[in-house]
Amino acid sequence: MPHPDSTTPILPGFHPDPSICRVDDDYFVITSTFEYLPGVPIFHSRDLVRWRLIGNVLDREDQLSLPSSEGSGGIFAPTLRFHDGRFWMITTNINRVGEGHLIVSATDPAGPWTTPVYATGAVGIDPDLFWDTDGTCYLTWASGRPGSPISQAVVNPETGELLSERTDVWGGTGLAHPEGPHLYRRGDWYYLLLAEGGTERGHAVTVARSRSVRGPYEGDPANPILSHRSTSHPVQNTGHADLVERADGSWAMVHLGVRPVGPSPSFHVNGRETFIAGVRWLDDWPVVDETAFDVPKSHTDFDDDFSSPHLDSRWIAPGRHPHEFIEAAVDVGCVIRPSDSTGHRSLLAIRVEDQEWDARATVDADGGRLVLRLDDSHWVAVGSQDGAISVRMVVGPLDQVLAGVPAPDAPKVTLAIRATLPAAEPYGRVAAADDLTLGYVAEDEFRALATVDGRYLSTEVAAGFTGRVIGVEPTGTTDAVLRRFSYRGL
């Protein structure tokens, strides 16, 4: 039987701002990536609850490069659509927002995708593409300025050229930050779906409709059609949704949410995740049904010995494409070169996708560290260098070595970080967001060096739009050699 409410994400971990499309019996979802490269992962499913990563849309420097690894820059909310035999993706690179929205296309969703064109003149965030039945393509976007209405123009997606003047189509229901627009046609109605209330606890999904694509749009009397604000639901911040019609004529919705834990104000550490709900129609308005899908827990375990000639698509890096600073070496593993002169961090990482997990990295003992990162000002690491293993934590301006021991007398060392939810105290309170225990493995035994409070690597402390990633980087100015990396949910 379906769950009474949806508490299990279809894409766990840092996978915000989902957009979905269908081609026959195949479904595809993309999400935001912000400062991480490659940009915009794309997933495939046949049943809407089990998803497989098939690649990344922006995986080349000629498609996307970033000036730094600064947190929550880069790629904001994308939209994925299929039209006339091609997949189309439009998004905003906030570092180049003045140039307009970035548009690429592909015949195969796994790539390659084209070099971008830009919708010059459409300045803002959260762009959407919609083709009407006469073939006209409409670009709809949010200004990104508080209280400003949603804008629309006709666009040539091949070139990015705007073919009409910008018009304002709807200002939302009056909640803060109307954004994330998606435009649809169902029968004789055009529907405009928005995110409102901000992407924090007040987040909500609202909808309006019109007989004309250009409006005026009338809001649903039942708005917001989805929100968990001011409730005790374990999934919060629900919003930024996208609709898809299924092959059988029914409809579904993907949306983001977070799973906060700990005492007030509660802390979410893995970023905004992607969830799914059903949609039924009542008096030509969409009604969200959160009990429609029985979502299984995703398989998140990952083990890489770098024996493949191709880097797994799960690997990402802040501010740089991984292939810019790594190289495979026969019978060695993965060589990670130090940060470059521009300050880009050489961190080869994957998204953390579980609330409890264990990650291990076997590196050469002369220089390498396992890093859990939220942004460059909020991270913790266990590293090996100069004959010692030490734990270091950075929280804003505070930078401290928490523990250290002599390294085992061996050419390699296995570093480890484990996250666990703390036991509940009386009255249901818990001591922290999670407990992060850092150490190393010796004689097949995990040896803890330090345990830190995970709330300091949470969005509520650090701010921003991303979640945790975990990976390996050099500890100094010499290469790090990563022999093996493993991650498993507990």
Shared domain for 220 and 359, answered yes or no, is no
Give CA–CA dist 188/202, Å, rounded: 32
Between these two residues, 378 and 343, which has the higher pLDDT value? 378
- Which of the four pLDDT bands, split at 50, 70 and 90, describes residue 5? low
Shared domain for 203 and 322, answered yes or no, is no
Give 244-249's long-range contacts (Cβ < 8 A, gap of 24+): 244/20, 244/21, 244/22, 244/27, 245/22, 245/186, 246/22, 246/48, 247/22, 247/24, 247/25
From the CB of residue 400, how many other CB atoms can be counted at a distance below 10 Å?
Answer: 9
Shared domain for 182 and 313, answered yes or no, is no
5 part of a folded domain: no
Last residue of a domain, one of 233, 265, 289: 289
Shared domain for 260 and 346, answered yes or no, is no
Catalytic residues: 17, 179
Last residue of a domain, one of 267, 289, 311: 289
- Per-residue pLDDT, averaged over 125-132, amounts to 98
Shared domain for 405 and 318, answered yes or no, is yes
The total of structural domains in the chain comes to 2
Closest-CA residue to 118 (of 77, 182, 161, 66): 161
CA 210, 212, 213, 216 torsion: positive or negative?
negative
pLDDT tens digits for range 357-381 = 999 999 999 889 999 999 999 999 9
Q: Judge whether 438 and 242 are in contact, CB under 8 Å.
A: no
- Which of the four pLDDT bands, split at 50, 70 and 90, describes residue 330? low
- Mean pLDDT across the chain: 95
Give CA–CA dist 468/352, Å, rounded: 6
**CATH number for the domain harbouring residue 354:** 2.60.120.200
13 part of a folded domain: no
pLDDT of residue 432: 83
8 part of a folded domain: no
Residue 454 scores a pLDDT above 50: yes
DSSP-derived letter for residue 460 is H
pLDDT > 70 in the chain, percent: 97
pLDDT of residue 339: 84
Residue 422 scores a pLDDT above 70: yes
pLDDT tens digits for range 136-190 = 999 999 988 887 899 999 999 999 999 999 999 999 999 999 999 999 999 999 9
251 part of a folded domain: yes
Shared domain for 202 and 326, answered yes or no, is no
Shared domain for 337 and 268, answered yes or no, is no
Q: Judge whether 451 and 387 are in contact, CB under 8 Å.
A: no
Token duo for residue 284: 């030509």
3 part of a folded domain: no
477 part of a folded domain: yes
pLDDT of residue 427: 59
2 part of a folded domain: no
Closest-CA residue to 316 (of 74, 21, 24, 5): 74
Last residue of a domain, one of 254, 289, 324: 289
pLDDT tens digits for range 236-279 = 999 999 999 999 999 999 999 999 998 889 999 999 999 999 99
Shared domain for 259 and 333, answered yes or no, is no
Shared domain for 396 and 349, answered yes or no, is yes
Q: Which amino acid is at 192?
A: L
**CATH number for the domain harbouring residue 207:** 2.115.10.20
- Which of the four pLDDT bands, split at 50, 70 and 90, describes residue 428? low
pTM of the complete model: 0.96
- Which of the four pLDDT bands, split at 50, 70 and 90, describes residue 4? very low
Per-residue burial over 217-253, b if 16 or more Cβ lie within 10 Å, else e, is: bebbeebbbbbbbeeeeebbbbbbbbbbeeeeeebbb
Shared domain for 329 and 203, answered yes or no, is no
pLDDT of residue 430: 63
pLDDT tens digits for range 212-229 = 999 999 999 999 999 999
Give CA–CA dist 126/175, Å, rounded: 17
Shared domain for 308 and 282, answered yes or no, is no
Give the residue numbers spanning the domain of 392. Answer: 302-489
Residue 484 scores a pLDDT above 80: yes
348 part of a folded domain: yes
pLDDT of residue 2: 38
Q: Which amino acid is at 305?
A: D
Shared domain for 250 and 318, answered yes or no, is no
- Per-residue pLDDT, averaged over 39-59, amounts to 98
Residue 425 scores a pLDDT above 90: no
pLDDT tens digits for range 443-452 = 899 999 999 9
Residue tagged 């912000």 (tokens): 34
